[in-house]
């Protein structure tokens, strides 16, 4: 008999339910906590998993209770939201997505896992894979952006990074793909609201990233808080058992979101905790995070005949199997057994700086950047110029609020001989404008004016939906005043914009001389920004989301379906707005560098592709600028005539090349033909012969794309 069989035979019902229970400790708080001391419940085996515990000693002391003092000595599974770093923070996921570099996506996850594991942790509630096309939704910050292909590539890379090849090793942690499924489509971008999108959209847009995570061997999946067309994900049997387990073949653990099982009562599908617990268990949820619905509700549900012991045993089996896979039975103290050498921490910080710099998206550069080496006086204006805590972004894990490199720190380190004066001017969440005068004064004899504005970190992330997406507070007033003063002084202004989502800032883009979208770059933020401002790093980030011109364009994304009446300026009855263009302010994939590139030629072979084949796209590029830089190329397709209208652009691949001035290079991208299949009229996967347009370019702006037509046969 296996260890798991033995244990199942020996376990009492409360002990089994303990393995299906995850309780928060007070170290970090992400929702309502259950009051009281969990110590006794761990000893009695009634709590088998924990979250929100920080620090190796804390982790160990809890683990000891389970391993040394509980009857069956089953180790605890202890997790935390290590979303974009543990103590050393990398850019927020939306920022990191801007890299379009799966190898780096994996590397930062590997580093985050190593650091978290050295703190004794064995699980992270990441990666977050929710495709979002609605900037009002604050959780856009945590995710991959608007495109399902990018989300799927990110999913594989992150799972690989967190879990590595062998999950029993001391430097790995179990990944939790979340939030399943279509959470990014909450109504009107309002957090925790209902989602009502077609089954086709769920399957084509929101599911692929989870499918990729499952293919990569992800240990666990977390259903989202919302309901999908009336069926809360936590009780959504068709999506959990039907799609995730039966169709995608997922046999890992399904862990609920925080208190989500109890919230089935608020959703209006369960009358009490017993019914809520029964619905979740029947739907396939193994671990109850923070609702105590399994501990307290399932015994009643059993009595009422709503669940069977076999349902409980199957869930316990999966949880124990994960603990086994993590090597916890062999050695529950393996993770964190050795303190990391300081060199490992330093290397991680260097990686954070490098990735931070590469995540920045240069949206405009009117011959301002890079700055000269010999700047003597820099005016740094704005509330985000010297705000350490904000640099972390909205999910900081165990990241310290102090000690993150601010823009001020970064500029001072980069220009040690310059006089860098920092004036906030206004505070983000205050109506006070008195400080603007001092900000304007600081411009007087500056050789460079840097305006650091945007959202405070906590204005994006969970429970941070916003209906107005301009610069919050009085920052616009500050910025307008600085632009005016700069014009009078014949100086130029570089805006460094911090945000967890696209903001609606057409006026800012127009008036800034240079605009650098910084997202929230993490621990080394200010150094990353300074590396780009001084030209040490040529910006190479590309926005993974379209930036709207107005909130009224939302949801906005490049992968739209064609209209029966395509927009035409001269024709009234066409698909357009009367007041603004349809196009976004910045298209998906947009980002400038210090080089300048030209697509010289491109080829697609073969020109007739079969279902089992692949198409090879080769794009020849030349750097026609004056500096070395990296260019990103995107490959899209458009199936012009199909049984179901296909989007005007579907992303099929991306690649990068680094080129010196005047140099040529080739980006080669292979697209497996199976990716060209789509869901037919009955939502069945189909391969339809016919013409296929292949489009390449530096971003999703239709006009900038070059195209060739091949045939699917």
* Contact residues for ligand NOJ, defined by CB under 6 A: 30-31, 51, 81, 125, 178, 257-258, 462
Backbone φ and ψ of 269, nearest 5°? -120, 0
Which residue, 368 or 457, has its beta carbon nearer to ligand NOJ? 457
| Cα dihedral 524/529/534/537 (nearest 10) | 80
- How far apart (Å, rounded) are the C-alpha atoms in residues 639 and 224? 33
Q: Among this protein's residues, is 246 annotated catalytic?
A: no
Which residue, 52 or 388, has its beta carbon nearer to ligand NOJ? 52
* Minimum CB–partner distance for residue 554 and ligand NOJ (Å): 22
Name the residue with tokens 């050498």.
341
* Minimum CB–partner distance for residue 179 and ligand NOJ (Å): 6
- How far apart (Å, rounded) are the C-alpha atoms in residues 410 and 349? 14
Which residue, 125 or 590, has its beta carbon nearer to ligand NOJ? 125
* Minimum CB–partner distance for residue 29 and ligand NOJ (Å): 9
Q: In sequence order, which residues have a C-beta less than 8 Å from that of residue 272 and are 6 or more positions away?
A: 265, 297
Which residue, 115 or 462, has its beta carbon nearer to ligand NOJ? 462
Which one, of 89, 113, 99, lies nearest residue 170 by Cα? 113
Which residue, 111 or 462, has its beta carbon nearer to ligand NOJ? 462
* Minimum CB–partner distance for residue 225 and ligand NOJ (Å): 6
* Minimum CB–partner distance for residue 192 and ligand NOJ (Å): 9
Whole-angstrom CA distances from 33 to 30, 60, 260 are: 8, 21, 13
- The distance of Cα 90 from the centroid of its chain, to the nearest Å, equals 12
* Minimum CB–partner distance for residue 138 and ligand NOJ (Å): 11
Which one, of 60, 122, 462, lies nearest residue 258 by Cα? 462
- How far apart (Å, rounded) are the C-alpha atoms in residues 121 and 85? 13
For residues 50 and 78, the answer to whether their CB atoms sit within 8 Å is yes
Instruction: Tally the C-alpha atoms within 13 A of residue 616's C-alpha that lie toward its C-beta.
Output: 5
* Minimum CB–partner distance for residue 83 and ligand NOJ (Å): 8
Which residue, 178 or 325, has its beta carbon nearer to ligand NOJ? 178
- Which one-letter DSSP state was computed for residue 646? P
Which residue, 178 or 485, has its beta carbon nearer to ligand NOJ? 178
Which residue, 258 or 415, has its beta carbon nearer to ligand NOJ? 258
Tell whether omega for the bond before 555 is within 30 degrees of 0, i.e. cis.
yes
Kindly name the residue from 81, 101, 119, 257 that is annotated as catalytic. Answer: 257
3-state secondary structure 517-580: ECCCCCCCHHHHHHHHHCCCCCCCCCCCCCECCCHHHCCCCCCCCCCCCCCCCCCCCCCCCCCC
Pairing of strands 608-609, 288-289: unpaired
Nearest to ligand NOJ by Cβ — which residue?
Answer: 125
Element (H, E) at 298: helix 293-304
Which residue, 153 or 178, has its beta carbon nearer to ligand NOJ? 178
In this structure, is the dihedral angle defined by the CA atoms of residues 278, 282, 286 and 287, taken in order, positive or negative?
A: negative
Instruction: Tally the C-alpha atoms within 13 A of residue 280's C-alpha that lie toward its C-beta.
Output: 39
- How far apart (Å, rounded) are the C-alpha atoms in residues 115 and 345? 8
| C-alpha R_g of the chain | 26
Which one, of 140, 221, 137, 127, lies nearest residue 181 by Cα? 221
Question: Residues with catalytic annotation?
Answer: 257
């Amino acid at each position: 008999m296996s260890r798991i069989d033995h244990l199942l035979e020996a376990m009492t019902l409360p002990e089994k339910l303990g393995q299906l229970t995850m309780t928060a400790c007070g170290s970090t708080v992400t929702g309502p906590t259950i009051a009281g001391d969990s110590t006794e419940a761990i000893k009695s085996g009634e709590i088998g998993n924990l979250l929100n515990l920080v620090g190796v000693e804390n982790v160990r002391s809890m683990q000891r209770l389970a391993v040394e003092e509980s009857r069956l000595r089953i180790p605890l599974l202890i997790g935390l939201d290590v979303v974009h770093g543990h103590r050393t923070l990398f850019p927020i996921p939306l920022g990191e997505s801007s890299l379009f570099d799966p190898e780096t996506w994996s590397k930062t996850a590997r580093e985050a896992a190593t650091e978290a594991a050295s703190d004794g942790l064995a699980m992270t509630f990441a990666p977050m894979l929710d495709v979002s096309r609605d900037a009002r939704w604050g959780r856009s910050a945590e995710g991959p952006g608007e495109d399902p292909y990018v989300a799927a590539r990110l999913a594989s890379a992150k799972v690989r990074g967190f879990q590595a090849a062998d999950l029993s090793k001391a430097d790995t942690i179990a990944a939790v793909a979340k939030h399943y499924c279509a959470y990014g489509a909450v109504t009107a971008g309002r957090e925790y609201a209902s989602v009502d999108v077609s089954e086709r959209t769920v399957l084509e847009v929101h599911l692929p990233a989870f499918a990729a995570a499952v293919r990569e061997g992800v240990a666990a999946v977390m259903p989202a808080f919302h309901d999908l067309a009336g069926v809360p994900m936590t009780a959504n049997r068709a999506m959990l058992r039907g799609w995730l387990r039966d169709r995608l073949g997922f046999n890992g653990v399904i862990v609920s979101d925080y208190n989500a099982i109890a919230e089935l009562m608020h959703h209006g599908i369960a009358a009490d905790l017993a019914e809520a617990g029964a619905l979740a268990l029947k739907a396939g949820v193994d671990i109850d995070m923070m609702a105590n619905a399994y501990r307290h509700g399932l015994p009643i549900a059993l009595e009422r005949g709503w669940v069977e012991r076999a349902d409980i045993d199957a869930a316990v089996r999966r949880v124990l199997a994960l603990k086994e896979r993590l090597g916890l039975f062999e050695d529950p103290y393996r993770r964190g057994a050795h303190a990391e050498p300081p060199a490992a921490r330093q290397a991680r910080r260097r990686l954070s700086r490098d990735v931070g710099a590469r995540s920045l998206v240069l949206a405009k550069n009117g011959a301002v950047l890079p700055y000269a080496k010999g700047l003597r006086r820099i005016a740094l204006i704005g509330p985000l110029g010297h705000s350490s805590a904000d640099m972390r972004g909205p999910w900081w894990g165990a990241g310290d609020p102090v000690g993150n490199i601010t823009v001020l720190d970064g500029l001072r380190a980069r220009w040690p001989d310059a006089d860098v004066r920092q004036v906030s001017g206004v505070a983000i969440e205050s109506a006070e404008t008195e400080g603007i005068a001092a900000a304007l004064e600081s411009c007087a004899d500056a050789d460079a004016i840097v305006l650091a504005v945007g959202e405070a970190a906590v204005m994006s992330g969970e429970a941070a939906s916003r209906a107005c997406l301009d610069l919050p507070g009085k920052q616009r007033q500050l910025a307008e005043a600085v632009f005016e003063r700069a014009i009078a002084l014949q100086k130029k202004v570089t805006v460094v914009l911090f945000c967890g989502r696209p903001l609606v800032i057409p006026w800012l883009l127009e008036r800034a001389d240079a605009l650098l979208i910084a997202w929230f770059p993490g621990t080394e933020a200010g150094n990353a920004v300074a590396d780009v401002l001084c030209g040490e790093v040529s910006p190479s980030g590309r926005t993974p989301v379209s930036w709207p011109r107005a909130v009224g364009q939302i949801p906005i994304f490049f992968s739209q379906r064609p209209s029966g009446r395509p927009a035409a300026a001269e024709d009234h009855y066409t698909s357009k707005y009367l007041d603004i263009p349809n196009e976004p302010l910045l298209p998906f994939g947009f980002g400038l560098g210090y080089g300048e590139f030209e697509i010289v030629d491109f080829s697609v072979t073969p020109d007739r592709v079969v279902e089992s084949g692949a198409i090879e796209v080769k794009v020849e590029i030349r750097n026609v600028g004056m500096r070395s830089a990296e260019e990103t190329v995107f490959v899209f397709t458009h199936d012009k005539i199909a049984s179901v209208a296909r989007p005007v652009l579907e992303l099929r691949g991306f690649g990068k090349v680094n080129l010196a001035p005047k140099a040529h290079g080739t980006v080669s991208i292979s697209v497996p033909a199976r990716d060209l299949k789509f869901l037919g009229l009955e939502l069945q996967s189909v391969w339809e012969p016919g013409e296929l347009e292949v489009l390449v370019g530096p971003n999703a702006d239709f006009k900038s794309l070059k195209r060739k037509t091949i045939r699917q046969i």
